[in-house]
Amino acid sequence: MATKHEKIIKHIESLPIGEKISVRLIAKAMDVSEGTAYRAIKDAENHGLVSTIQRVGTIRIEKKRKEAIKNLTFSEVLSVIEGEVLGGEKGLQKTLTKFIIGAMKEEAMVRYISKESLMIVGNREEAQRLALENGAAVLITGGFGTEKEIIDLANGKELPLMTTSYDTFTVAAMINRAMTDQLIKKEIMLTEDIYTKLNQTEYLSVDDTVDDYRKLNEASGHTRFPIVGKSNRLVGIVTAKDVIGKQDKMKIDRVMTRNPYYVKTHMSVASVAHTMIWDGLEVMPVVKDDLTLKGIISRQDVMKAMQSAQRQPQMGDTIADQINRLIKVPEETMESSETMELKFSVTPQMTNNVGTISFGVLSEVVSESAYKALASVHKRNLVVEQMSLHYFKLIQFGAEITIIPKIFDIGRKSARMDIELYSENGLAAKAIVVCQLIQKN
């Protein structure tokens, strides 16, 4: 007979995707205490049946299959940017494939918009409508709201419509960072990804004999088997070494190793590998929290998984990476800090809502220019400790900036630089940068 906890889990599974869930509603619907309902909802969250989202609440979600490389969902993006949902809550569990910054005219946006993408835009209702109509979610920066018509459209399309108080560059940097972190997370492979399930696992019970072990050993070719007792709970493990010289009729529980090492599905493959190598184990049973046997994991499984993880890409491409690549040192530049000139082209992604370079991007350009100046001329590495940046003239996307870094003070542990940035209209920005120097090994 199913327990109250199991009945609540089944009830949650039967709810439609996007349905809001609360302890009080579950307790009332299932006629249980709020404490029982709370524990069941937490268990459902651990199993990926529900998700709790800030300012939205707990909602029923579709249980996602694990993939080799996981994408961010819009609910995770919402958490990263500390945003608020205006509409389209049912689409929060959809995955984000890419994001676009809406710094251009509507007619130019269409070719960049695709399904499951995210349009980052300010208080431009027409751009918001265009994105939703073409299958993209919308994130409104600057803390702005929007019209009821746009909210209704988001609800009808089941596409998240979110708002955040951060500016466009900050939001783009935060999402880039989250995407990179998500790519790194996929390297952390769990036991549940690779273990052999119970229906494919050979095992013995405490009532079996040494003769049963030998028959199973001959039929399967394996030498190590978990031993289970009542309710299929793990009680031990038996190996070929344990049965040497033992009589066929001897019960297996008299020769098995009791209290064996075991694994749970949420444990990382790396930690399992460490235990196996350290203790010389070839096989470990995989169990539930109550020690019910779920399967086994072998050293061979672990080694294959670790080799596969090494072949996966480990890093995403952030805006800082893009800026670094876009800063060019012309070949004709002489190796002197007095005459060095760097070139940088502004892309649309690096602009704010009015199409000019974001102050945050400009700060990153200055930092990277300081690094390149010292790295190429003085072969020194650095950390920027202070920066005084003055932005005189607006620099629009597509503009080419000439950057002139000048080192006016350098010592053993620090350096000070004057960095000027010129656009087509003359001096556009100027910065004084104080750096801590790091000795390269």
Write out pLDDT tens, residues 12-60. Answer: 888 887 788 888 889 888 888 988 888 888 888 877 788 776 556 788 7
pLDDT at residue 268, rounded to an integer: 82
> Which residues is 391 bridged to in the sheet?
429
Cβ atoms within 10 A of the Cβ of 49, count?
18
Domains of the chain: 4-60 (1.10.10.10), 74-185 (3.40.1390.20), 191-310 (3.10.580.10), 319-438 (3.10.129.10)
CA 19 to chain centre: 25
Strand bridging mode 225-228 / 204-205: parallel
With a cut of 50, list the residues of the chain below it in pLDDT: 65-70, 312-316, 334-337, 441
Q: Are 100 and 109 in contact (CB under 8 A)?
A: yes
> How distant, in Å, are the alpha carbons of 14, 94, 136, 219 from that of 86?
27, 16, 15, 62
pLDDT at residue 318, rounded to an integer: 64
What is the C-alpha to C-alpha distance for residues 14 and 418, in angstroms, rounded to an integer? 64
User: Does the pTM exceed 0.85?
Assistant: no
Cβ atoms within 10 A of the Cβ of 100, count?
20
Strand bridging mode 117-121 / 137-140: parallel
Position 249, amino acid: K
Write out pLDDT tens, residues 128-160. Answer: 999 999 999 999 998 898 999 999 999 999 999
pLDDT at residue 128, rounded to an integer: 92
Q: Are 143 and 48 in contact (CB under 8 A)?
A: no
pLDDT at residue 339, rounded to an integer: 65
The number of C-alpha atoms within 13 Å of 432 and in the hemisphere containing its C-beta is 4
pLDDT at residue 149, rounded to an integer: 93
